[in-house]
């Protein structure tokens, strides 16, 4: 649904060049909720602004629903109408809502329809439908100043949906909201994604947002995408920073003569007594250094960090056993140099949840 290829954006700022996007290849499938996460300055807003051509990319291409927007933008004035129409099929939600204070809720949502030249009666009908969809049917005549932050964002979302977009782009839509309101807005985005088959690309600096609603995610650093994939793929990628952030399980090895393994359980494997089978089959004592169960991307996933006695070479067979059971088992670098040998380490350390 959205593809960027070699997308680059260089800003000229007071005689200096700032590379905000450095060859971004992004693939967002139809009907998925895709999260891009990264620290401030990573280039997230530039990415979203280049995708809907609010910002002109320096190089590279952007394709949305099969249409090459960069080619349209490059054709100059005559393609202006086509580009405007293509952009009207991309909804955009902003962190600070960007509502007009002097217009009622209804008139705010109507604005994009006015610009598209939709006749008055059709506009009113559409607005009522949209207000219903976002749960604000009784607020048509209210002014933005009379609404809470969450209600304002619902208006922002209704306005973004006015042109019946196939794609919704959201730049930190929940960053100005409290945790409870954040949850309700994320739920709304999820519902819209499912009810309308809407593809959602959202930008956030909060891992919790990704965890709550995303099917896929990408990690951005310094204008580049350094990791990407479905949540399941990321969790299955050894050493994935996103997987670790999505699903932290704490705990370090108790000494140099042990092997620490992160075990991830998906689906029905979560219900089987795999660890006790491992212990009995190989007659080994297993310490649990940390464990967590959670719902990620709508799926129940468990993670556990276990410690096996003996070095890695001695544990190849038990680790193979875990993998044969359909679990993902990733050996964690045994960094015990920081632990003084004479200090007796506790058997079990932090249990995450
Ligand atoms: N209009 C602009 N002019 C000059 N530099 C910009 C402009 N917009 C963003 N930048 C710079 O580009 C980099 C990426 O910014 P941005 O895309 O806003 O990142 P994020 O949304 O991840 O915080 C930053 O170094 C920022 O200062
Ligand atoms: Mg930003």
Q: What is the pLDDT of residue 347?
A: 37
- Name, in order, each residue with C-beta under 8 angstroms of 205's C-beta and a sequence gap of 6 or more: 37, 38, 39, 40, 44, 172, 175
The secondary structure of residue 271, as a DSSP letter, is G
Average model confidence (pLDDT) for the chain?
87
Was domain 2-235 assigned CATH 3.90.45.10?
Answer: no
Mean per-residue pLDDT, 139-161: 97
Identical topology for domains 2-235 and 247-333: no
Among the atoms of ligand 1, which is closest to the Cα of residue 40?
Answer: 23
pTM: 0.81
Percent of the chain with pLDDT over 70: 90
Range from 70-84, 158-172, 174-188 carrying the lowest mean pLDDT: 70-84
- Name, in order, each residue with C-beta under 8 angstroms of 13's C-beta and a sequence gap of 6 or more: none
Helix (H) or strand (E) holding 186: helix 179-196
In this model, does residue 32 exceed pLDDT 90? yes
In this model, does residue 155 exceed pLDDT 80? yes
In this model, does residue 65 exceed pLDDT 50? yes
Q: Which ligand is nearest to the CA of 43?
A: 1
What distance in Å separates the CA atoms of residue 227 and residue 234, rounded to the nearest whole number? 8
Q: Which of 8, 9, 11 to mutate to test the pocket of ligand 1 (most atoms within 8 A of CB)?
A: 11
In this model, does residue 351 exceed pLDDT 70? no
Which protein residue's CA is at the shortest distance from atom 11 of ligand 1?
A: 20
Range from 153-167, 181-195, 335-349 carrying the lowest mean pLDDT: 335-349
In 97-182 the beta strands, taken as DSSP E runs, fall at: 167-171
In this model, does residue 71 exceed pLDDT 80? yes
Tell me, in angstroms, the distance from the centre of ligand 2 to residue 301's CA.
30
Q: What is the pLDDT of residue 246?
A: 79
Ligand 1 contacts CB of residue 41 (under 6 A): yes
CA-based nearest residue to 221, from 18, 41, 19, 81: 41
Was domain 247-333 assigned CATH 3.30.450.20?
Answer: no
- Name, in order, each residue with C-beta under 8 angstroms of 19's C-beta and a sequence gap of 6 or more: 8, 9, 10, 223
The structural domains of the chain, with segments of one domain joined by +, span 2-235, 247-333
Percent of the chain with pLDDT over 90: 64
In this model, does residue 344 exceed pLDDT 60? no
Q: Is 131 exposed, middle or buried (0-12, 13-18, 19+ CB in 10 A)?
A: buried
Q: Which of 4, 38, 40, 43 to mutate to test the pocket of ligand 1 (most atoms within 8 A of CB)?
A: 43
Ligand 1 contacts CB of residue 18 (under 6 A): yes
- Residue with the bigger pLDDT between 228 and 326: it is 228
Tell me the pLDDT tens digit for each residue of 272-318.
788 889 999 999 999 988 887 777 666 677 888 999 999 989 999 99
Tell me the pLDDT tens digit for each residue of 205-255.
888 888 889 999 999 999 999 999 998 788 777 778 888 887 777 777 777
């Amino acid at each position: 649904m959205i593809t960027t290829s070699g997308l680059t954006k260089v800003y000229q700022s007071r005689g200096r060049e700032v590379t905000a996007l450095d060859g971004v290849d992004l693939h967002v499938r139809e009907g998925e909720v895709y999260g891009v996460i990264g620290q401030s300055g990573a280039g997230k807003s530039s990415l979203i602004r280049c995708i809907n051509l609010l910002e002109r990319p320096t190089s590279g291409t952007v394709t949305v629903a099969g249409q090459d927007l960069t080619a349209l933008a490059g054709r100059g004035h005559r393609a202006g109408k086509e580009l405007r129409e293509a952009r009207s099929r991309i909804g955009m939600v902003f962190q600070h809502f960007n509502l007009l204070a002097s217009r009622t809720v209804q008139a705010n949502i109507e604005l994009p329809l006015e610009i598209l030249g939709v006749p008055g009666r059709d506009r009113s009908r559409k607005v009522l439908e949209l207000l219903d969809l976002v749960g604000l049917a009784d607020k048509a005549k209210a002014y933005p100043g009379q609404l809470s932050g969450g209600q304002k964002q619902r208006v922002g979302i209704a306005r973004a949906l006015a042109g019946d977009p196939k794609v919704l782009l959201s730049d930190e839509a929940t960053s100005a909201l409290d945790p409870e309101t954040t949850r309700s807005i994320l739920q709304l985005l999820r519902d819209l994604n499912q009810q309308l088959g809407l593809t959602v690309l959202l930008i956030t600096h909060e891992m919790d947002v990704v965890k709550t609603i995303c099917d896929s995610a990408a990690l951005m650093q310094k204008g580049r995408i350094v990791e990407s994939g479905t949540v399941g793929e990321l969790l299955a990628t050894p050493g994935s920073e996103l997987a670790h952030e999505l699903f932290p399980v704490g705990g370090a090895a108790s000494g140099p003569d042990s092997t620490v393994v992160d075990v991830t359980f998906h689906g029905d494997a979560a219900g089987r007594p795999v660890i006790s089978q491992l212990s009995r089959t190989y007659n080994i004592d297993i310490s649990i250094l940390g464990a967590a169960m959670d719902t990620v991307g709508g799926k129940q996933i468990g993670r556990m960090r276990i410690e096996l006695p003996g070095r890695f070479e001695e544990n190849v067979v038990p680790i193979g056993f875990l993998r044969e059971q359909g679990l993902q088992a990733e050996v964690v670098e045994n960094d015990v140099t920081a632990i003084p040998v004479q200090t007796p380490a506790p058997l079990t350390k932090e249990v995450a949840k």
